[in-house]
């Protein structure tokens, strides 16, 4: 009886020296020590071969070294030694994997059955996280392999997906609000800059002082150079979080007519990016399109620009650019298009005396528009007490012309009437608060549906401060309502990733049998979970990727793990874009025109018609969706 106990203790000591086992509880290590068999493999022995089918055992190297070759990528080879294990990702995914494992010398391994592996994942959180990271590695590797098949154009576009923290090359030049004008100018001269950021005592950007400010507010009025710079600076500078992408920054610049943005971390200034910095990353004709939009004299002229936007989007998809910069590009250009439409329509309407703000909701509010998109918008306004009934008809008349103009530009009228011309969606600030508060107090299915659409609002035109005020109020109210958060989480868990039990995927019946709806059974899972995280944590961002990244930061989730979740969401978005573009439709016969894809089928794909790599990536993306739902339920579902 003593011998087995000694062997178990020896095994436990070995495991504790190597991650992830060093982070695991004794009871979980004892499961390995008591259930694993010590297997011997002579030099040259193939231990795991993908050709043998679904992985059946976990191997933990006790002595010796194992060569690992990727059967899908000839140049991908590595060696693993004592304490390392394999094939974790294949076991976690329930697949054969793509890696071949061979003993380079006499090797001893602890061999654990699949059933014990699954039990270990259930009982040990550190081991489960280790397996999730292995799965994430597969997804990132697959995305990398896919992108290698695209041209240099795609590589150039990918830089737009990089977070701003990787774009910033120098420390920001700044001064405090109490700094004198002359000292601010000296700092600008020393750094050879045409502007300087101004921060408060907590290092938060509150303004910017430029050469234009120097001319208009100092030189011409004859201001005292000893005066504090806060008296002559431009307030309310454009700010953006360091986790935002270069494309998001470009979209903000296009929307707000900023030439530079203050980059922040938790509200504190960490850098400054200019329009020139970001356009240096861009290799497409977005700038030319924006110029054409600004100069368009009529709606008919704007209609010609929409064709350029469609062509640009089609080209980016064809070249294999990543999903996030594509959707941000579409949204940014559509925002600029809508802004110009506002200017043209406002010439026919008198809204003087009304504080109003046009809200984009749904995917437009999240900055996640794809090619197939209709209108989702609303109006928020403020007026004197009792004046809503006077202001509303004027705003509705304006909204009707905007909605009809957008329809003429190719954005179909919303069949659900989620448009600003709907009197129920043209509301005064107090009316929106009452509507939102009602949904939060009584989270019925109808209320949750409304929250899913309208709580993703984003200001597009008008008095943006109105939307900021409503967003701050909503963030506080929603995060304090435990019942609402629990119901929102339950709603986010309703959609199940379509992973099959016998086959890889669970497909639908009905009009398009054998297909999967990539929106309702794919991207929606990430969008709903991100919204629940944001409202529960008081996060004011509306973009799904940013919500997930910020939630990961607040919940101390490892950045790599959350970034893998974001990558999975991007892959599904890209698959949607490719589906809408018709990449998976059969080629027309010679002389026949290409068939138009029905609107109801634009998000549907037959998973078994995809190539092997895409099938694998799709499956891993659905697994990441299920993992995200588990994280959400553990954090707020109880």
- Name the token pair of 428: 């005064």
- Name the token pair of 348: 């026919």
Cα angle 160, 166, 171 (rounded to 5 degrees) comes to 130
Place of tokens 């309502």: 481
Strand order through the sheet with 85-86: 37-41, 107-113, 57-63, 85-86
% of residues, the chain, pLDDT over 70: 88
Handedness of CA 181, 187, 192, 193 (dihedral sign): negative
Residue 306's closest CA among 401, 375, 407? 407
Handedness of CA 442, 445, 448, 450 (dihedral sign): negative
Q: What CA–CA distance (Å, rounded) separates 208 from 261?
A: 10
Local confidence band at 70 (pLDDT 50, 70, 90 cut-offs) = confident
Specify the pLDDT at position 132. 76
Tell the CATH topology of 301-309+323-467: Beta Polymerase; domain 2 (3.30.460)
Torsion from C-alpha of 608, 609, 614, 617, nearest 10 degrees? -30
Q: What is the pLDDT of residues 366-422, one digit of tens each?
A: 988 776 577 899 999 998 877 888 999 999 999 999 999 999 998 889 888 999 999
Tell me the angle at which helices 246-256 and 323-346 cross, rounded to the nearest 10 degrees: 0
What mean pLDDT comes out for the span 315-329? 71
Residue 150 has pLDDT above 50, yes or no: no
Q: What CA–CA distance (Å, rounded) separates 331 from 487?
A: 30
Residue 272 has pLDDT above 50, yes or no: yes
What mean pLDDT comes out for the span 291-311? 85
Number of residues that make up the chain: 638
Q: What is the pLDDT of residues 325-381, one digit of tens each?
A: 788 788 888 888 999 999 999 999 989 889 999 999 998 899 887 765 778 999 999
Residue 507's closest CA among 356, 376, 359, 618? 618
Q: What is the pLDDT of residues 97-148, one digit of tens each?
A: 778 999 999 999 999 999 999 999 989 988 988 887 776 665 555 555 444 4
* Cβ atoms < 10 Å from Cβ of 583: 12
CATH superfamily of 162-279: CBS-domain (3.10.580.10)
Specify the pLDDT at position 540. 93
Specify the pLDDT at position 236. 86
Local confidence band at 483 (pLDDT 50, 70, 90 cut-offs) = very high
Residue 539 has pLDDT above 90, yes or no: yes
Local confidence band at 500 (pLDDT 50, 70, 90 cut-offs) = confident
Q: What CA–CA distance (Å, rounded) separates 248 from 240?
A: 9
* Cβ atoms < 10 Å from Cβ of 187: 17
Local confidence band at 256 (pLDDT 50, 70, 90 cut-offs) = confident
Q: What CA–CA distance (Å, rounded) separates 634 from 638?
A: 7
- Name the token pair of 330: 């579409």
> 381 to each of 173, 231, 402, 460, how far by Cα in Å?
38, 31, 16, 13
Residue 153 has pLDDT above 90, yes or no: no
Q: What CA–CA distance (Å, rounded) separates 278 from 293?
A: 20
Residue 175 has pLDDT above 90, yes or no: yes
DSSP secondary structure string for all residues of 315-330: HHHHHT--HHHHHHHH
Handedness of CA 448, 245, 313, 467 (dihedral sign): positive
Local confidence band at 156 (pLDDT 50, 70, 90 cut-offs) = very low
Residue 453's closest CA among 435, 431, 480? 435
Are the C-beta atoms of 233 and 211 separated by less than 8 Å? no
Q: What CA–CA distance (Å, rounded) separates 448 from 426?
A: 20
- pTM listed for this prediction: 0.61
Tell the CATH topology of 2-123: Jelly Rolls (2.60.120)
């Amino acid at each position: 009886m003593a011998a087995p106990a000694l062997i178990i203790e020896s095994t436990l000591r070995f495991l504790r020296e190597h991650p992830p086992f060093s982070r695991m509880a004794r009871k979980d290590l004892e499961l390995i020590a008591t259930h694993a068999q010590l297997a011997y493999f002579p030099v040259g022995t193939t231990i795991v071969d993908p050709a043998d089918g679904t992985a059946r055992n976990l191997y933990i190297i006790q002595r010796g070294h194992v060569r690992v070759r990727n059967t899908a990528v000839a140049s991908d080879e590595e060696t693993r030694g004592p304490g390392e294990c394999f094939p974790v990702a294949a076991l976690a995914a329930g697949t054969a994997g793509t890696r071949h494992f061979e003993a380079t010398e006499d090797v001893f391994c602890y061999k654990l059955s699949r059933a014990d592996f699954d039990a270990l994942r259930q009982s040990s959180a550190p081991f489960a996280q280790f397996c999730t990271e292995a799965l994430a590695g597969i997804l990132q590797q697959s995305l990398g392999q896919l992108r290698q098949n695209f041209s240099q154009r795609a590589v150039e576009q990918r830089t737009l997906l990089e977070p701003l923290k990787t774009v910033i090359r120098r420390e920001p030049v700044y001064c405090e609000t109490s700094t004198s004008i002359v000292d601010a100018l000296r700092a600008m001269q020393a750094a050879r800059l045409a502007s300087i950021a101004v921060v408060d005592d907590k290092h938060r950007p509150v303004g910017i002082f430029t050469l234009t400010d120097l001319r208009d507010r100092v030189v011409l009025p004859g201001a005292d150079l000893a005066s504090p710079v806060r008296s002559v600076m431009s307030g309310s500078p454009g700010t953006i979080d360091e986790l935002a992408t270069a494309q998001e920054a470009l979209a903000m610049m296009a929307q707000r007519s900023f030439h530079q943005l203050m980059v922040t971390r938790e509200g504190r200034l960490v850098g400054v990016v200019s329009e020139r910095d970001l356009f240096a990353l861009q290799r497409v004709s977005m700038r030319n399109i924006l110029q054409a939009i600004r100069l368009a004299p009529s709606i008919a002229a704007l209609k010609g620009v929409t064709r350029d936007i469609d062509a640009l989007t089609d080209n980016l998809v064809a070249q294999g650019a990543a999903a996030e910069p594509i959707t941000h590009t579409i949204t940014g250009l559509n925002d600029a298009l809508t802004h110009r439409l506002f200017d043209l329509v406002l010439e026919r309407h008198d809204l003087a005396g009304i504080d109003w703000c046009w809200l984009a909701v749904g995917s437009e509010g999240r900055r996640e528009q794809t090619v197939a998109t209709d209108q989702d918008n609303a109006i928020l306004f403020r007026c004197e007490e009792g004046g809503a009934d006077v202001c509303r008809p004027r705003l509705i008349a304006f909204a009707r012309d905007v909605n009809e103009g957008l329809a003429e530009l190719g954005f179909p009228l919303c069949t659900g009437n989620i448009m600003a011309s709907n009197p129920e969606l043209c509301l005064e600030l107090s009316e929106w608060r009452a509507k939102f508060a009602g949904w939060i107090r009584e989270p019925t299915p109808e209320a949750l549906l409304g929250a899913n659409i309208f709580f993703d609002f984003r200001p597009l035109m008008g008095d943006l401060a109105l939307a900021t005020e409503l967003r701050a109020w909503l963030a506080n109210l929603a995060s304090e309502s435990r019942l609402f958060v629990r119901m929102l989480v339950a709603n986010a868990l309703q959609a199940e990733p379509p992973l099959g039990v016998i086959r890889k995927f669970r497909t639908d019946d009905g009009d398009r049998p054998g297909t999967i709806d990539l929106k309702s059974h794919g991207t929606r899972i990430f969008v709903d979970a991100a919204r629940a995280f944001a409202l529960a944590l008081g996060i004011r961002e509306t973009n799904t990727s940013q919500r997930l990244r910020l939630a990961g930061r607040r919940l101390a989730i490892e950045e790599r793990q959350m970034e893998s979740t974001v990558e999975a969401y991007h892959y599904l978005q890209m698959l949607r874009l490719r589906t809408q573009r018709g990449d998976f439709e059969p080629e027309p016969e010679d002389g026949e025109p290409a068939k138009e894809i029905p609107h109801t089928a634009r998000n549907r794909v037959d998973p078994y018609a995809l190539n092997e790599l895409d099938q694998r990536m799709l499956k891993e993306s659905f697994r990441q969706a299920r993992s995200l739902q588990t994280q959400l339920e553990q954090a707020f579902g109880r």
